[in-house]
Structure 1
Amino acid sequence: MTFRNPPFAALRALESAARHLNFTRAAKENNVTQSAVSHQIRHLEELWGLKLFDRPPRGLALTHNAQVLAPLIRKFLDDLEMSLETLHTEVERVPLRVDMLQSFSVKWLVPRLRRFHDEHPEIDIWISTHDELVDFSSHGVDVAIRLGHGDYPGLASTLLLKEHVFPVCSPDFPKRYDNLNEPADLLSVPLLLRLGDPAHPNWEGWFKMAGVDDAVLTEGTRFPDTNMALQAAMEGQGVALARSAHVGDDLKAGHLVRLFDVDYPSSVSYYLVCPNATSEKPRVVAFRDWLIAEAKIAQEEYDRTAGVILKPARAS
């Protein structure tokens, strides 16, 4: 036998009346008149051919039919409400998609990301990594953190971090060498080199800044990624040339030490970049403001610890 589907309002009336055993309270709960509830119940009884309520001298009593149907209707209404709330939450909780260099993600952003979630639990961050600036529309990216000069035509850019570059090694590494007294002495120890990367400071530039002209580097292990070079340095395999943003936490934890007091500012800095049209969206503004605050803390920490080095350069 096929039964016609009842009106949604009639189902609510039945569930409410069955719970209250009172048409007046059911009407108040559903913001309708008592006669409307009575009419909806009568419509269900006629539609299904089932008696739903007995009407003793005082109040209402559920028939066996209503005792079977009311819990099913209550579960249906609860499930429907829960599903609608979930769907609305999913629509409202759109993730912020952030793209950046892998090295910056691993060594700087990810260790701090919990603080953003604590401040903004309503915003999910989805991270992707690329070495080059992505196309925001085709890659589905909202904002990017890039290492450069800040000149990104058609995009809004915000300076986050200026960097300094210096040699680092494990705390035990210098114990194997007695002659690490001045920058030129690094030419006699294993240097951890990066594969060609024009945006990354090179050893030749650092040696020139340190007053060592025409430095000739010995061939050694080369890495395609900053994180690999730093990991090798932590394991005592040699001296790596590091960006301050990448090693602040490792220096503080004692995993690495800085060598020499040569101030070598990087020619490029970290910028938050996004399309002009979306730069003032609340999610973007919240993430940008948080990044600026975290970058300021990181810069202050670097300024406090910049003089904490293993061996200062000799005065010339």
Structure 2
Amino acid sequence: MRDLPPTATLRAFEVATRHATFTSASEELHVTQSAVSHQLKHLEDLWGLQLFQRGKALRLTPAGAALAPIVREFFMNLEATLADLREQKGRVRLKVSTTYSFALKWLLPRLPSLSQQHPQILITLETSDKAIKFSSADADVAIRLGNGNYPGLHSEFMLREQIFPVASPDLLKRFGAPHEPAELLRYPLLTRDGADLVPKWEAWFEHIGVSIAPLKESVRFADTNMTIEAALLGQGIALARSGHVEAEINDGRLVRLFELPFASPVGYYFVCPKGIETQPHIISFRNWLLAESMQAQQNYQ
């Protein structure tokens, strides 16, 4: 650390790397040419390296060229951090990792409530469907869909969704509304690809006691969001999770078909490293999250 020069000297070097002459560098720094020259000479003496080839124009030596991007990045990071700290003004930032679909459909619409109740918390949302590893993830807490098996972590159950068919009013107008669950087999049923944690049509029909042959498919969708979007476009009937179609059902863009209870076999869990769950801002976020989850769970019944 003895070789670290004053910040003003480093700034003079960073500015000089972007200019061809001492004159233009001094104009940006609002100092004299001799002051810039003196600071650069001091830096070269301190580090024992020639940083510039002096002539009619300033040219970086190989050593100067190697150091220039490092010093430039240092100032960029410093300025960004200072700007962030000034913005916070006593507020605390909480980085939350969750799945893209949960963030988009459930958490994002509820964040204004968090801001009203806890204006001191600044949320950064990050999305990932992978198992959370806090040792390598840039997140403080996480919300994950699973069975609650999170060894070595603090976890709390949040909510469990109901699963049911949904269709657009336009599709029901074209095909007519089904009166019995078995009648759904004559409708285009939207299917998802992959073997994930959420039940598909086969499991739903089995749960309600309807035997089916292999479903006729036209298009398979990569995830729930695509399936719901296709249902909104009237392309077929989707098997939806309650937390993912709240807004669409409330505003009439989708219609729930049949009030048959079918709870998801997996739930959402609040997860964080053990020990940090007692930090005040995490307690506030956790309490708000569980209260919202309890209200949502009651609505799903």
- Structures share fold, TM-score greater than 0.5: yes
- 2:155 aligned residue (150, 154, 157): 157
Decide whether the 8 Å contact of 1:165 with 1:242 is kept in 2: yes
Q: For the structure 1 residues 133 and 85, does the alpha-carbon distance in structure 2 shift closer, same or farther, using more than 3 Å as the test?
A: closer
Q: Please give the residue correspondences for 1:234-273 in structure 2 after superposition, counting only pairs within 5 Å.
A: 234-273=232-271
CA distance in 2 between counterparts of 1:142 and 1:202 reads 32
The match for 1:111 is 109
Counterpart-to-counterpart distance in 2, 1:128 and 1:115 = 19
Aligned counterpart in structure 1 of residue 168 of structure 2, from 167, 170, 180: 170
Residues 39-61 of structure 1, C-alpha deviations (whole Å, 9 max, x = no match) = xxxxxxxxxxxxxxxxxxxxxxx
Deviation, structure 1 residue 144? 0.7
Conserved in 1, the CA contact under 8 Å of 2:161 and 2:300?
A: no
Counterpart among 140, 144, 147 of residue 145 in structure 2: 147
What is the one-letter code of the residue matched to 2:264? S
Aligned mate of 1:283, from 281, 284, 299:
281
Q: Please give the secondary structure, in 2, of the residue aligned with 1:108.
A: helix
Residues in 2 aligned to 1:156 and 1:283: alpha-carbon distance in whole angstroms: 16
Deviations 1:78-135 (Å, cap 9, x if unpaired)?
A: xxxxxx9995775854411111111101000001101101111111111111111221
1:200-254 CA-partner distances (Å, limit 9, x unpaired)? 2110000111211244211122111211111111121110111111112221111
Q: Which amino acid counterpart does residue 289 of structure 1 have in structure 2?
A: N
What is the CA–CA distance in structure 1 between the aligned matches of 2:226 and 2:98, rounded to whole Å? 17
Q: 1:190 to 1:152 in 2, by over 3 A?
A: same
Question: 1:308 maps to what in 2?
Answer: none
Change (3 A) 1:167 1:91: same
Residue equivalent to 2:133: 135
Answer yes or no: is the 8 Å Cα contact 2:93–2:121 preserved in 1.
yes
In 2, the alpha carbon distance for the partners of 1:219 and 1:85 equals 53
Aligned to 2:215: 217
Q: Give 4+ residue runs of structure 1 displaced > 4 Å after superposition.
A: 84-92
TM-score (norm 1): 0.65
TM-score (norm 2): 0.69
**Contact 1:187–1:216 (8 Å) recurs in 2:** no
Candidates 201, 204, 221, aligned match of 2:199: 201
Q: Which has the larger radius of gyration?
A: 1
- Is the contact made by 1:179 and 1:185 (CA closer than 8 Å) also made in structure 2? no
**Alignment-derived partner of residue 122 in structure 1:** 120
Counterpart residue type for residue 227 of structure 1: N
CA contact (8 A) 1:248 1:302 kept: no
Between the aligned partners of 1:184 and 1:85, the Cα distance in structure 2 is 60
Judge which range, 239-248 or 86-95, deviates more.
86-95
Evaluate the alpha carbon distance shift between residue 231 and residue 102 of structure 1 in structure 2; reply closer, same or farther with a 3 A threshold.
same
Taking the aligned partners of 2:248 and 2:88, their CA distance within structure 1 comes to 38
> For the residues of structure 1 that align with 2:87 and 2:167, how far apart are their CA atoms?
48
Moved more, 246-255 or 283-292: 246-255
Match of 2:178 in 1: 180
Equivalent residue, structure 2, for 1:40: none
- Structure 1 gaps of 5+ residues are 1-83, 304-316
Identity percentage of aligned residues = 49
Is residue 187–residue 218 contact of structure 1 (8 Å, CA) maintained in 2?
A: no
Structure 2 equivalent of residue 307 of structure 1: none
Residue in 1 aligned with 2:8? none
Mapping for residues 2-41 of structure 1, pairs under 5 Å: none
Matched-pair contact (CA < 8 Å) for 2:198–2:265: no
Counterpart of 1:226 in structure 2 is 224
Partner secondary structure for residue 163 of structure 1: coil
Partner of 1:72: none
